[in-house]
Amino acid sequence: MTLAYELDYAWRSLRLGRNFLTGGTIHCNLQLTYRCNLSCRICDFWKAEHHDALDLDGVRTIARRLRQLGSVIVSCAGGEPLLRADLEDCIAALAGQGHFPILITNGWFVDAARARSVWEAGLQEISVSVDYREPARHDAMRGKDGCWQRAVEALRLLLAARPDARRRVHLIAVLMDDNLNEIEPLVRLAEELGVTSMVNLYSPNRGAKASRIPDGSAGKQLLEIKRRHPGLVTLTSYIERFDQAIAEGGIGDCRAGRLFFNIGPNGDVHRCTEMTDRPLGNLLREDMRTVRDRLHAAARQPCSACWTSCRGFAESMFRPPRSRQLKEFLNSVRPR
């Protein structure tokens, strides 16, 4: 890495660290596309026709306006983000304005060239979805043969192509009622591949299977797995509340709108991904500080009480003991 990159990375880290210390915004979901090449039973997005309303100039505008918040972790979300031919330009626009771009992919479109190009554009972290250790089960849930093999190969290619060890590659699994016993085998698979692993609860509004939740002992089992496998880097504080979220249908007192928020594929800003029917402004037309005031006001309103990973990560970083959360976060991003 060049000296210029090292200085830029340190500057972005300090700006993000300031947000961690002061309770500022640390995470934003930027919905680059709702299009997807798969027909997963866990999701309903693929059942509707979608068009990308947010072009590259729009992404650049949003990146500039997000800069008013300092450095932010920006999840380039979807759908399947790699369906966008200009994804690398979108990543570069975000990184160029001092943010940390990350994304989740199903892995289908990752080849050696694409693995190199997303890193070269400035991607900080990428997670590949694998929900079952048995390939046939994963393929059946995703609705397409070969998905498991493509996902595992994507993990190999992305790890081999990353330009430095600070760029993170994760295997990520969605916890459901039929794959709790698959999590530890998946964590072992990640260890064999040389990548880290993560697990999260799904959004209750994404699809019919999202209602298929595991039983109330899931959190305890996951914490045991985490103790045995340090490569499972999901924050302890997030996992500790899984059983409560499952039993109560979510967690109350949400801090969406302050610690994190969502931007739709037309530039509309929402308190979170669960409240896309209630836009609070548009970053293609309005200043970030103006929209931020509305987000902060909306943060006091009731919500759907989810416990998804974007919310869980953001809120866990501010829960006691904060020293443990910070240590675990630094462990998850340290060079490996």
In this structure, the number of other CB atoms found within 10 A of the CB of residue 316 comes to 22
Q: Which two tokens stand for residue 246?
A: 């499952």
Mean pLDDT of the chain: 90
Nearest CA among 118, 108, 113 for reference residue 80: 108
Q: What are phi and psi of 83, to 5 degrees?
A: -70, -20
| N residues, the chain | 336
Can you give the residue ranges of every domain in the chain?
24-333
Query: What are the CA-CA distances from residue 154 to residues 41, 193, 309 (Å)?
Result: 22, 11, 22
Read off the pLDDT of residues 183-229 as tens digits, 9 standing for 90 and up.
999 999 999 999 999 999 876 655 554 446 666 689 999 999 999 99
User: Distance (Å, rounded) from C-alpha 94 to C-alpha 98?
Assistant: 7
Is residue 242 packed enough to be buried (19+ CB in 10 Å), middle (13-18) or exposed (0-12)? buried
- Residue 336 is predicted with a pLDDT of 62
Higher-confidence residue: 113 or 39? 113
pLDDT tens-digit series, residues 100-112: 999 999 999 999 9
Predicted pLDDT at 323 = 83
Pairing status of strand 100-105 against strand 125-129: parallel
Joined tokens for residue 293 = 């005031």
**pLDDT tens-digit map of 78-98:** 889 999 999 999 999 999 999
Burial 169-205 (b: 16+ CB within 10 A, else e): bbbbbbbbeebbebbbebbbbbbebebbbbbbbbbbe
Domain 24-333: which CATH class?
A: alpha beta
| CA neighbor of 148 nearest in space, from 76, 255, 40, 250 | 40
